[in-house]
Structure 1
Amino acid sequence: MLHTPPLTLYIHIPWCVQKCPYCDFNSHGQQQALPESEYISHLLDDLAEDAKRVGTRPVHSIFFGGGTPSLFSAAGIERILNGVRERVNLTPDAEITLEANPGTVESEKFRAFRQAGINRISIGVQSFQQDKLTALGRIHDTDQARHAAGYAHSAGLNSFNLDLMHGLPGQSVEDALSDLRQAIAQLPPHLSWYQLTIEPNTLFASKPPVLPDDDILWDIQQQGHGLLEAAGYQQYEISAYSQADHQCQHNLNYWRFGDYLGIGCGAHGKITDSHTGDIVRTVKVKHPKGYMDLSRAYLYEQQKVAPQDRPFEFFMNRLRLLEPCPKKDYEAFTGLALHQFDAQDKLTTAIDAGLLHETAQSWQLTALGKRYLNSLLEKLV
């Protein structure tokens, strides 16, 4: 039987100061004054429509992503959160994260965001080296990168994350480790440390930079992992490390195949209906002008996840986590038995290849599986 998983809320704010050349997210460079008030009204109307799908189900976390949500005022963020509480059943202890660019915040704004209801900030530092920041098209400089973590500490936030990239154009192993040491020195409770990849439909895709070779990337990953562990950070997801009890609860719900409402331009959602047995994915209108056009609906498309596609979707998400994956979760959140669609046979192939470890109750990535996750997922298609 299909069970209803935990539910979260994603809120997309699409504007940024300028589009970074590696970014494939739905973001738009700010050309004029932001239509903050108008957009918030649309967000709340969008949520009112989506709320009909979930009734009184509790919402356990909120994530403001973008774009650069920190371009909005604290008063605007507070208006959104008040509107959310009026429309859905937000739990009192919900994790509420807002993405911020070091070039768009200062100490007082972090405090104002906390007073508005934000209890976690995710700061897009990416690098502490000016030449790397310039190559990535970031608007902040090294001083702003260093100060941002201090602002988060002084604002009294319960938790915050630093986003840091490696495998950057012209980056050596020592360059990458220097960035990581500087990030660790800021004492963030959470670090997202991920490799730059060239995505389609980006400036880097049309004019690819020279990136480090595979040997350098492997050395960066191995030595960086050692630095993080020595500093007390635990890797719990392929690209995420945290101090004890500071994992990102919102992202954990994604990787555990949880449900989420997605409101705002181009936002994606996933909703399970245990009564009908359906899992539905939704996408909202992508461009701000279209999204704020009163003559059309916010929903751009929705699609049921076919039963034969559910095994791969479940494992594609779940196997990003290093924790054991309970077998009962597979059956509960896909509504399928393991013998359906050859799921067990495919898993056995991965187990025999040393990519997965199996017990009577769970599966778990091996060290080899963590290194060759894409190869593992190919075996599960």
Structure 2
Amino acid sequence: MLIPPPLSLYVHLPWCVRKCPYCDFNSHAAKGALPFEEYVDALVRDLDHDLPLVWGRVVNSVFFGGGTPSLFPPEAIDRFLQAASARLRFAPGLEITLETNPGTAEHGRFDRYLAAGVNRLSFGIQSFDDAALQRLGRIHDSAEAERAVKLAQDAGYDNINLDLMYALPQQTLAQAEDDLLRAFALEPTHVSHYQLTLEPNTVFYARPPKGIPDDDSAWDMQEHCQRLLAEAGYAQYEVSAYARPDRQCAHNLNYWRFGDYLGIGAGAHGKITSGAAQHVLRRWKHKHPQTYMAQAGGEAAIGGDEIVPAERLPFEYMLNLLRLHEGFSVADFSARTGLAADALAAPLAQATQRGWLEETDAGRWRPTELGRRFTNDVIELFLD
């Protein structure tokens, strides 16, 4: 029996000051004044159109991603949240995250974001090395990054994530360590620490920068930084996510546990489970902001709908769950996919034989240390 899981709301705000050469997200460099009011109007129309998919369900987290959501004034964020909470059942005290670029942080805005209901900030720092930031095409420097985080803390924020990358062009192990030490000095509650990858359709993919560390050097950085994070009190709970006790990102945890999420905004993706129809629906919206705003609220704004075939569900489930250190239970798998335990028998046997997965005394399956090094290979076992 397919049972609808917890529900989140994702809101995509697609503009940024300048598109970074490594970024493959749906982001568009701002040209002139941005249509904040018109875009919020489109978001509300989009939400109204999708409401029948989730009617009566409780929303457990909200995430504003981009682009650079902090380009939007607090009043625009507040207006959307008021409209959304009037239409959806927001759980008491739900986590509401806003992605923030230090180069767009202004004194006096953070307290107004907090008043609007945003209770978690995620800063895209990437590095505290000014030369590295220039090579990455970032619009801020290290001093601006530190100042922005402190401004947010002064405004009352006590739940802050810092995004950092490693294996950057020309980066050494000592520089990767220094990035973390400077992050620790700011005392964030959460650190996202991930390797720079050259994604298709990016400038870096077409013209790779010089001096990218090789695989062995990148692995050395990863292992060393994982030790530093653990020693500083940040427990790893996902491939690239580390948190203080009880400060894991609720929104991302819902993604990784194969939860549902309503995707609103230009290029936003959603996943919705229907208990009545017994299927998992994926829906995405048109990517270009102008096209999206013109069509939001109607079928034309939908870029596509897909009912996930039953034979692909094991792979999609594992693509998310095997990123988590907590692993999964077979009962959870059946509830999230509607499939019997037999669907996992053969790949679980292979993964166990190769030493990639292990079953705990509590009956949960989780990646071994070896399995975490070969995550993609483990996941491929579950392809139909």
Structure 1 residue 353 and structure 2 residue 345: aligned? no
**Aligned residues: percent identity?**
50
CA drift at 1:46: 0.3
The whole-number CA distance in structure 2 between the counterparts of 1:332 and 1:158 is 35
CA drift at 1:106: 2.8
Structure 1 residue 133 and structure 2 residue 136: aligned? no
Change in 2 beyond 3 A, CA 1:296/1:34 = farther
Matches within 5 A, 1:173-212: 173-210=173-210, 211-212=212-213
Partner of 2:253: 252
Change in 2 beyond 3 A, CA 1:296/1:304 = closer
Structure 1 residue 118 and structure 2 residue 118: aligned? yes
Is the contact made by 2:6 and 2:59 (CA closer than 8 Å) also made in structure 1?
yes
Is the contact made by 1:95 and 1:250 (CA closer than 8 Å) also made in structure 2?
yes
The whole-number CA distance in structure 2 between the counterparts of 1:248 and 1:284 is 25
Is the contact made by 1:107 and 1:155 (CA closer than 8 Å) also made in structure 2?
no
Partner of 1:54: 54
SS for the counterpart of 1:380 is coil
The whole-number CA distance in structure 2 between the counterparts of 1:107 and 1:228 is 30
Q: CA RMSD in A?
A: 1.1
Partner of 2:266: 265
Matches within 5 A, 1:216-365: 216-294=217-295, 297-340=300-343, 343-359=344-360, 361-365=363-367
The whole-number CA distance in structure 2 between the counterparts of 1:377 and 1:293 is 39
SS for the counterpart of 1:297 is helix
CA drift at 1:379: 2.0
Is the contact made by 2:315 and 2:380 (CA closer than 8 Å) also made in structure 1?
no
SS for the counterpart of 2:118 is coil
Partner of 1:87: 87
Q: What amino acid sits opposite 1:96 in the alignment?
A: I
Q: What amino acid sits opposite 1:24 in the alignment?
A: D
CA drift at 1:12: 0.1
CA deviation string 1:159-192 (max 9, x = no partner): 1100000010011111111111111111000000
Partner of 1:102: 102
Instruction: Give the counterpart of 2:377 among 360, 367, 375.
Output: 375
- Structure 2: runs of 5+ lacking an equivalent: none
- TM-score, normalisation: structure 1: 0.98
Q: What amino acid sits opposite 1:248 in the alignment?
A: C
Q: What amino acid sits opposite 2:304 in the alignment?
A: E
CA deviation string 1:245-277 (max 9, x = no partner): 100000000000000000000000000001111
CA drift at 1:152: 2.2
SS for the counterpart of 1:191 is strand
The whole-number CA distance in structure 2 between the counterparts of 1:303 and 1:226 is 42
Partner of 2:40: 40
Q: What amino acid sits opposite 1:327 in the alignment?
A: V
| Greater Cα offset, 239-248 or 140-149 | 140-149
SS for the counterpart of 2:267 is coil
